[in-house]
Amino acid sequence: MNNKEIVAKAIYDVVKEDLSLEAVTQLLENPKSVDHGDVAFPAFSLAKVYRKAPQQIAADLAEKIAGTDFEKIEVVGPYLNFFMNKKMVSQAVIGQIAKDKGHYGDSSIGEKGNVPIDMSSPNIAKPISMGHLRSTVIGNSIAFILEKIGYTPIRINHLGDWGTQFGKLIVGYKKWGSEEAVKTAPITELLRLYVQFHEEAETQPELEEEARAWFKKLEEGDEEATELWQWFRTESLKEFDKIYSMLEVSFDSYNGEAFYNDKMDEIVTMLEEKHLLQENEGAEIVDLSAYDLNPALIKKSDGATLYITRDLAAAVYRKRNYDFAKSIYVVGNEQSNHFKQLKAVLKELGFDWSQDMHHIPFGLITQGGKKLSTRKGKIVLLEEVLNEAVELANKQIMEKNPDLPNRDEVARQVGIGSVIFHDLKNDRLNNFDFVLEEVVRFEGETGPYVQYTHARAMSILRKADFTIDETKAYALDDKDSWEVVKLLQKFPDVVMQAAEKYEPSVIAKHAIQVAQAFNKYYAHVKILTDDEQKESRLALVYAMATIIKEDLRLLGLHAPNEM
């Protein structure tokens, strides 16, 4: 039970006749300052029932509420301030963590239900962008969080591997490309061919016609076209995989847009049978004015299908293949309308499960407050950013701990982790500026700071040669440890909140708070002094390290034991 639940129960026991347990719980407040205890109850709402002044009611209640759960109950005006029994709570919390270890806060709410998570999903032959990075790390963290509460996440990379641009690439490659160049630097070369195609097409418009013809061939399964397309796809994926392996993110499926080529006819037929398709200047659309949305363009006048047509087929496929409990799309905020349209069309088709589909949008990564742009050749190469982060981490570790045996590995975990942490620590819808030096700092609200706090705790435990014993009772009652205990106690609620909101920042913020509270504790209290509470203090250090490590795991970061 958390503190609110304990207090609610204690009050309820004496006001049973007049208030429900739920009503009591809803009235409870978090005091603004620790001097006012851990939970507060305003007695106003009982004034009508008891026909007495709230102050008097508060005083009466305080007298009636008994039990060992509280150190004291203070009456301040109309408020009852509850001070929890620190020893009891800390003993329960540390004991539970000692027993559950990293599984503290696990639940089975998800009942193993499948949750496909559409994440990362970059476009073939183009550089993976900062937006795709965000989708990758947010999606990965949501997968861990949902798994912790009992769901089965399925990470899907819905690659952008289809579309008219492949006609252009084939033309470009045949005219100006080289096999060698594609093999050594696929994305750079394919991007170059794409750019060159557009430049040349300005003076030679017939190129566009050629490109269309090649895409048509590709759609019809022409051998040469298919082989080239397959090759571009494979080479691009190899390049993407470098980044995925740096981030340590893996996928259960790489079924991209092309996978749905043969699955769209069925959708179009369904739309026809339900009389949902309308003709509009030769194109086929679904009217969505009832939803206050623009019409969904299903087929162009030349018969070509679109992004949304493939997403309709993908949604139906996922329902059939995974029988999902919910289906999640981690895609930038700018595609909000697309996902609204997608859900609306599915609803029109009579698929009730469309309400289980959730678009999880996120904001932009900016530089100097401005949007990063891929056009004009100014692309930010992710691989370089990640490598630089590792280098910066390495330098700092070198200064702090020059003899660290596995320094390169730790620098990797800290450097890459810092970029992930920075991405996840703010509400996902916020835009944020990316300044590498800020991201990799060991102080402030950063990943390295949290990791460093964990490593420091582990070093204390090593020094003391401490192992936790889950059969022992560890209890503390000083006010510095209390702040840490309360945060650890909150962890299961924090996980639930993060899951409900699809918001990894809730976990990241918790990790920062725990780290800060612990460092304060460490500064005020001599942990290793030999007295009767030493074991309990060490047990708290253990519990703290366990939870920080779990926080970090849920975000996709390692917690090195030494750094």
State which residue, 6 or 331, has the beta carbon closest to ligand ARG. Answer: 331
Q: In the set 3, 81, 91, 123, which binds ligand ARG (CB under 6 A)?
A: 123
Beta carbon of residue 111, minimum distance to ligand ARG (angstroms, whole number):
25
Beta carbon of residue 329, minimum distance to ligand ARG (angstroms, whole number):
6
User: Candidates 83-91, 116-124, 366-374, 519-527 — which segment interacts with ligand ARG by CB under 6 A?
Assistant: 116-124
Beta carbon of residue 146, minimum distance to ligand ARG (angstroms, whole number):
18
3-state helix, strand, coil in the chain (%, to 5): 60, 10, 30
Residues of this chain, 156-215, that bind ligand ARG according to CB under 6 A: 158, 160
User: Candidates 43-51, 84-92, 121-129, 464-472 — which segment interacts with ligand ARG by CB under 6 A?
Assistant: 121-129
Question: Residue 371 phi/psi, 5° resolution?
Answer: -65, 135
Q: Is residue 311 near ligand ARG by the rule CB under 6 A?
A: yes
State which residue, 190 or 487, has the beta carbon closest to ligand ARG. Answer: 190
Strand 152-156 relative to strand 114-118, pairing: parallel
Q: In what order do the strands lie in the sheet with 365-367?
A: 370-371, 365-367, 432-433
Question: Residue 73 phi/psi, 5° resolution?
Answer: -125, 120
User: Candidates 119-127, 168-176, 244-252, 271-279 — which segment interacts with ligand ARG by CB under 6 A?
Assistant: 119-127
Q: How far apart are CA 277 and CA 281, in angstroms?
A: 13
Partners of residue 153 on adjacent β-strands: 115
State which residue, 329 or 449, has the beta carbon closest to ligand ARG. Answer: 329
Q: Is residue 239 near ligand ARG by the rule CB under 6 A?
A: no
State which residue, 161 or 445, has the beta carbon closest to ligand ARG. Answer: 161
Beta carbon of residue 158, minimum distance to ligand ARG (angstroms, whole number):
4
Residue whose Cβ sits closest to ligand ARG: 160
Q: How far apart are CA 24 and CA 16, in angstroms?
A: 10
Beta carbon of residue 384, minimum distance to ligand ARG (angstroms, whole number):
20
State which residue, 308 or 404, has the beta carbon closest to ligand ARG. Answer: 308
Q: Is residue 118 near ligand ARG by the rule CB under 6 A?
A: yes
Q: Is residue 133 near ligand ARG by the rule CB under 6 A?
A: no
State which residue, 219 or 311, has the beta carbon closest to ligand ARG. Answer: 311
Q: How far apart are CA 309 and CA 261, in angstroms?
A: 10
Q: How far apart are CA 502 and CA 506, in angstroms?
A: 9
Residue 483 in tokens: 């702040």
Q: Is residue 69 near ligand ARG by the rule CB under 6 A?
A: no
Task: Give start and end residues of each alpha helix (H) in 204-293.
Answer: 206-219, 223-247, 264-273
Q: In the set 331, 379, 386, 563, which binds ligand ARG (CB under 6 A)?
A: 331
Q: Is residue 327 near ligand ARG by the rule CB under 6 A?
A: no
CA atoms within 13 A on the CB side of 306: 15
- Quick one: which of 339, 318, 330, 381 has its CA closest to 140? 330
State which residue, 311 or 423, has the beta carbon closest to ligand ARG. Answer: 311
Q: How far apart are CA 116 and CA 505, in angstroms?
A: 21
Question: Residue 376 phi/psi, 5° resolution?
Answer: 60, 25
Evaluate whether 7 touches 39 at the Cβ level (below 8 Å). Answer: yes
Look-up: residue for tokens 């048509």? 216
Q: Is residue 139 near ligand ARG by the rule CB under 6 A?
A: no
Residues near ligand ARG (CB under 6 A):
118, 121-123, 158, 160, 311, 314, 329, 331
